[in-house]
Amino acid sequence: MDTNTLGTLVWQLSTRWRSAVDRAVAPLGLTQAQYTALSTLAAMRARGESPSQRALAEQMGVSPIFASKLVRALEAQKLIQRADHPQDARAYCLTLSRNGQTQLALARAAVRALEETLTAPVGDPGGNAAQALRIMLKALLATPVSETVPPEITVARSAQRPTSMTANANAPRPFTAR
């Protein structure tokens, strides 16, 4: 019986996939995260959305700060443009530039070729095994991720922390004015 946990296998696959995509899009001057941002932005625009940076972050599942760094880098490469947002005066509306559309098309071709290689062990992309894997992966992706630490880990951490009563007696004490 395989002793690897499903979480470990999913994490290893995700890490391997990201590294492979990084290598595939590097000749285009992109990283995996930048490719994902461009691809996500294009999909949002194709659905008729006028995505802001925050909406892009939410769609990608990344923090607004990370999305901001991605947007700035892509804007510096002239792959995306920011304009005033039609519904929110505090936000910018993001669009792909012509150069961004061209780079995305090239990157998608490279990633598609990579995907064919990496998913070959599953068999025919339209086959039963591939469809079963799609269903399982979508179920995993639909499961909410808790932002909190499980109670058993919190208890274990607090048991390891020294309290002021058990702290090193030889440690320097803070100066207190009288």
Per-residue pLDDT reduced to its tens digit, 108-154? 999 999 999 999 999 998 899 999 999 999 998 888 877 666 667 65
Residue labelled with tokens 């590294």: 19
Instruction: Report the half-sphere exposure of 32 (CA within 13 A, side-chain side).
Output: 12
- Is residue 89, in this structure, part of any structural domain at all? yes
- Is residue 151, in this structure, part of any structural domain at all? no
- Is residue 163, in this structure, part of any structural domain at all? no
Residues 4-56: pLDDT tens digits? Answer: 898 899 999 999 999 999 999 999 999 999 999 999 999 999 999 989 999 99
Angstrom distance (rounded) from CA 161 to CA 178 = 30
Residues 86-121: pLDDT tens digits? Answer: 787 888 899 999 999 999 999 999 999 999 999 999
- Is residue 171, in this structure, part of any structural domain at all? no
Angstrom distance (rounded) from CA 51 to CA 81 = 12
**CA dist list (Å): 96 to 6, 38, 43, 135, 143:** 37, 7, 11, 31, 31
Overall domain count for the chain:
1
**CA dist list (Å): 121 to 116, 117, 124, 125, 127:** 10, 8, 9, 10, 12
- Structural domain including 95 reads 30-140
Task: Give the CATH number, domain containing residue 136.
Answer: 1.10.10.10
Angstrom distance (rounded) from CA 101 to CA 107 = 10
- Is residue 119, in this structure, part of any structural domain at all? yes
- Is residue 59, in this structure, part of any structural domain at all? yes
- Is residue 158, in this structure, part of any structural domain at all? no
Longest dimension (CA), the chain: 78
pTM, two decimal places: 0.75
- Is residue 155, in this structure, part of any structural domain at all? no
